[in-house]
Structures are given as C-alpha cells and as structure tokens.
Amino acid sequence: MLHKAKTLNGFKLNSLDGEIGKVKEFYFDDVYWAIRYIVVDTGNWLVNKHVLISPYALFGIKQEKQHIDVNFTKKQIEESPLMESDLPVSLQFENDYHAFHNWPMYWKGRYMWGETPSIQRNRRQFIEATKNLKPSNHHLRSTHKVTGYHIQATNGEIGHIDDYIIDDDTWAIRYIVIDTENLWNGKKVLIAPSWIEKVSWSEEKVFVNLAREGIERSPEYTDKMLLTRNYEIELHNHYNRQGYWAVEPADKKHSALKK
C-alpha cells in the first residue's frame, strides 16, 4: 500500500509493551531511495537520545488509528545502539545497530534490501550470500531536509519537492510529489526517483531528464487522491516508462508488514 510521508508524520509508534513516541521524519538512502529508518520523537522518554527504527522492526500500519506497530519492547529500544545527534549516520552505527538486532545489512547485495527486493530476516543466510560483497556507496538523507529541493527539467525549473509516496511493502519511495507553485496554477505532479538523472546535494537541486512540457501534460496529482494501479499505469505510460511492479523481482515471502 502507498502512503504519503506527511500523512505518516505524527503517527504513534506502538511497541510490544506501550507507545514509544511518534514519527518525526524518515531517513532514506540516496542509491535506492528506500526508507532505512523512522526517526522517533520520544517526547520525555529517552531524552537527548536519537531513536531510529528500521523497517525490519515494523509489522503493521493502521491508517484509521494513526499508529504503526513495532516488534520491539521498550527495554529492547533502550538497550539498542542509540544516536547522540542527527545525520550523518555512520556505517559503524549501522553495523552495530543491525548486529544488535541480528538483522541483515541492507547495504550488501544486489537488490533494495541486500539479497532480496523486499524485507527479509534470515541473517545467517544473508551473511553467507554476501560475505564477499563490498558495501554499497550510499548516504542517508532526511525527508525533512530534502523537502523543498528544486526540480530541474531539461529546459527549466518546474517546482520543488513537497512530499514523498512510500510503499509499505518494500519501504521504497515510489514517487516524489512536486509542487509546481505558480507555473501551472499550483498543479502537483509525481516523479519516480528512478527517473532522476542526478541530484546536486550542495545546490539542493534534483535534475530529471524530462521536458517541462511533458511534465505539464502528465496526470495531475492531488493530496486527496487515492493512488490506484490504474493511475500509476497512466502515469508510467505518459512517460513511456515501465512500472516498478513489472521490473522489480517478486519476493513477497519475507515482507515485514502483514496487511
């Protein structure tokens, strides 16, 4: 199922023995544009600590109740590696964090989640399959900080990043929501991260190999829309691109979330 990041912000995170806080923002990697951690606002609990929750620990989003179920106890969170500050997240921290929870390391392997396109938990099998692989050269980015980045088409700027559409099966960012401001009466459009040509993180600018005219004629997106597969097919056909559902390997057996 697809969710807007702004909608999930503020959702309560329920551990196995009580609420641990609320969704503050997300950290995603700049290779796959996949969510790697939920950043937790713990309120007065674990003051001065930066709590990150990996999608490996998530097993249910309840839209109607506005909460996400986490397969942790509060004690497990207190005892796990915690950060003292915001980004950047070091590879050493990620190694310690994943080793503590006995999780596979997503940055080793051929797919979005290492050796699988979806989330899986068999660390022993993963280690054997990836022991000779080098880590991918990724960096973690904040959805909060990247919101507002300008979008540059082949023949001019078209707007800025307003939101992100997240797939709760793989935790990939399937689309970024572009606010075209005053160009086309405030129309919003969707662009898939796979269509991005490059990102200048220093200039806070995203470049897409698409013309302004084609983007203007693309199917309009509104915040109240329910994203259907028919809409996605129309969007991908407009840009003559294959849908992610057709090109990604199918591996639903190990999904962390139960619908």
Q: Indicate whether 20 and 95 sit together in one domain.
A: yes
**Number of domains, the chain:** 2
Q: Indicate whether 82 and 152 sit together in one domain.
A: no
pLDDT of residue 258: 33
Q: Indicate whether 162 and 125 sit together in one domain.
A: no
Q: Indicate whether 85 and 163 sit together in one domain.
A: no
Residue 109 and residue 130 in contact, taking contact as beta carbons nearer than 8 Å: yes
pLDDT of residue 225: 85
31: nearest Cα among 199, 210, 237 = 199
Q: What percent of the chain has pLDDT over 90?
A: 57
Q: Indicate whether 117 and 157 sit together in one domain.
A: no
Q: Indicate whether 33 and 107 sit together in one domain.
A: yes
Q: Indicate whether 41 and 158 sit together in one domain.
A: no
151: nearest Cα among 167, 171, 175, 173 = 175
Q: Indicate whether 31 and 109 sit together in one domain.
A: yes
- Whether 37 is covered by a domain: the verdict is yes
What is the average pLDDT across 6-23?
94
Q: CA angle, corner 100, sides to 99 and 102, nearest 5?
A: 60
* Whether the predicted pLDDT of 257 surpasses 50: no
Domain of residue 208 covers: 147-247
> What is the phi/psi pair of residue 179, to 5°?
-90, 115
pLDDT per residue as tens digits for the range 31-43: 899 999 999 998 8
- Whether 258 is covered by a domain: the verdict is no
pLDDT of residue 252: 43
What is the average pLDDT across 245-250?
76
- Whether 208 is covered by a domain: the verdict is yes
Q: What percent of the chain has pLDDT over 70?
A: 89
pLDDT of residue 133: 57
* Whether the predicted pLDDT of 12 surpasses 70: yes
- Whether 6 is covered by a domain: the verdict is yes
At 188, which CATH number? 2.30.30.240
When the pLDDT of each residue in the chain is averaged and rounded to a whole number, the result is 87
- Whether 254 is covered by a domain: the verdict is no
Last residue of a domain, one of 130, 165, 196: 130
DSSP conformation letters of the chain: -EEEHHHHTT-EEEETTEEEEEEEEEEEETTT-BEEEEEEE-TTSSTT-BEEE-GGGEEEEETTTTEEEES--HHHHHHS--BSSSSPPPHHHHHHHHHHHT---TTSSSBTBBTBSS----HHHHHHHHTTPPPP---EEEHHHHTT-EEEETTEEEEEEEEEEEETTT-BEEEEEEE-TTTTTT-EEEE-GGGEEEEETTTTEEEES--HHHHHTSPPB-TT----HHHHHHHHHHTT---HHHHSPP--TT-S---
What is the average pLDDT across 201-205?
95
Q: Indicate whether 231 and 126 sit together in one domain.
A: no
Last residue of a domain, one of 130, 159, 188: 130
Last residue of a domain, one of 96, 130, 164: 130
- Whether 44 is covered by a domain: the verdict is yes
- Whether 253 is covered by a domain: the verdict is no
Q: Indicate whether 14 and 119 sit together in one domain.
A: yes
**Cα–Cα distance list, 240 to 5, 61, 210 (Å):** 26, 32, 11
Q: Indicate whether 6 and 125 sit together in one domain.
A: yes
Q: Indicate whether 6 and 126 sit together in one domain.
A: yes
pLDDT per residue as tens digits for the range 76-91: 998 888 887 778 888 8
- Which has more pLDDT, 257 or 186? 186
Does this model's pTM top 0.85? My answer is yes
Residue 151 and residue 206 in contact, taking contact as beta carbons nearer than 8 Å: yes
What is the average pLDDT across 119-136?
65
- Whether 58 is covered by a domain: the verdict is yes
pLDDT of residue 255: 36
